[in-house]
Amino acid sequence: MDFSLTEEQLAFQHTARCFARERLLPNASRWDEERHFPAEELRAAAHLGFAGIYVDEEYGGSGLSRLDAALIFEELAAADPSTAAFLSIHNMVAWMLARFGDDSLRMRFLPKVLDGDHFVSYCLTEPGSGSDAAALRTRAEPHGNGHYRLNGSKAFTSGGGVADLYATMVRTGEDGPRGISCVVVEKGTRGLSFGKPERKMGWNSQPTTSVTFQDCLVPVQNRVGAEGEGFRFAMMGLDGGRINIAACSLGGARACLEAATAYVKERRAFGRTLGDFQSLQFKLADMATELEAARLMVHRAAVALDERAPDATLRCAMAKRFATDICFRICDEALQLHGGYGYIKEYQIERYLRDLRVHRILEGTNEIMRVIIARKLLEAA
């Protein structure tokens, strides 16, 4: 087993790191305070190939692996977890369109998605069905000649109101997962509307809104795959999404660890630098060890997904649960090491902490990750 990166991986890792430091980091705090959506920078990322990282080259994507994507998202999130996370969602939907859409749908939507001309959002969660996604109630009824009529609402949609396309899970059949389909709703469609942007603890560079469908007519040709396959697509997309968001946690935690290490080497107390105190040395050692353990789990899960291993879903759930919990704790410890300075915005630690907190909730809460892990273990026993 080789843990070293290839020359190609080192090259695009370096590209992502330079882009993050030059285009994201100098602006991240302002975007956070002003709740600004950085469309220009996201398009610049798309021009580097970061809008379709694991979309096959035959469809215009970068054709990279899930492990490659994890490397890229860690670098982007080391500067701005919020913006990196939105790009993660964009990639997930781009992959779903490429993998499960027909040629007509790919030709109509993918080129602009991969170029960054169109941003995409993912609509699964509803006000009455969060963790129980299979209980969703937004319904798509056949209407007229070749349309669905959508009625219902979605909650906590990243990119709500600014995205151009909304990959939406709707009920076209019976109750439960087998009655769910996926359709693409285009911005500007009559009957599509958005709630006011939520005021959130973090992730402020991307708007989060409710999405409402009221007699919203969507062409049947906008359906991704066949009727009844939407929930399967959603779950497959979430396996990769869990790796992506775990990788974003790695980036945020790494940035906080690096900041804390530099701070304790410079800050003095009682005639010594903080780094001279063994208790603080031990804290840094634990933070670094846990970060490396989380990174190894994320990379192992990414490889399992790339290889379509039977235990890929188990490993993705494990990696997401462990990495997002551990990385949030690393950010919190880094803030503690900064003392009062960690609590003020100038040092940016508090921004990373706020952004990483939601990673333990989205793409399936960490409690749901435990359910998935236990279920897979019991199935294999």
- Given a contact cutoff of 8 angstroms between Cβ atoms, the answer to whether 90 and 77 are in contact is no
Cβ contacts of 230 within 8 Å, gap of 6 or more:
169, 170, 180, 181, 182, 224
> Among 74, 126, 333, 363, which one carries the catalytic annotation?
363
Is 312 buried (19+), middle (13-18) or exposed (0-12) by CB count in 10 A? Answer: buried
- Given a contact cutoff of 8 angstroms between Cβ atoms, the answer to whether 82 and 27 are in contact is no
Question: Which of 309, 317, 314 has the alpha carbon at shortest distance from 243?
Answer: 317
- Given a contact cutoff of 8 angstroms between Cβ atoms, the answer to whether 375 and 367 are in contact is no
Residue 57: Cβ within 10 Å count: 10
Give the single-character DSSP code of 20: I
Question: Which of 169, 128, 172 has the alpha carbon at shortest distance from 149?
Answer: 172
Buried b (16+ CB within 10 A) or exposed e, 136-158: bebbbeeeeeebbbbbbbbbbbb
How far is Cα 314 from Cα 227, in angstroms, rounded to an integer?
27
What letter represents residue 260's amino acid? A
Answer yes or no: 363 catalytic: yes
CA distances in angstroms from 13 to 40, 63, 102, 185, listed in the order given: 21, 15, 32, 34
| DSSP helix/strand/coil, 167 | strand
How far is Cα 301 from Cα 52, in angstroms, rounded to an integer?
20
Task: Please tell me the total number of residues recorded for the chain in this structure.
Answer: 381
How far is Cα 341 from Cα 61, in angstroms, rounded to an integer?
43
First to last CA, the chain: 27
Cβ contacts of 354 within 8 Å, gap of 6 or more:
201, 202
123: β partners: 168
Positions marked active-site: 363
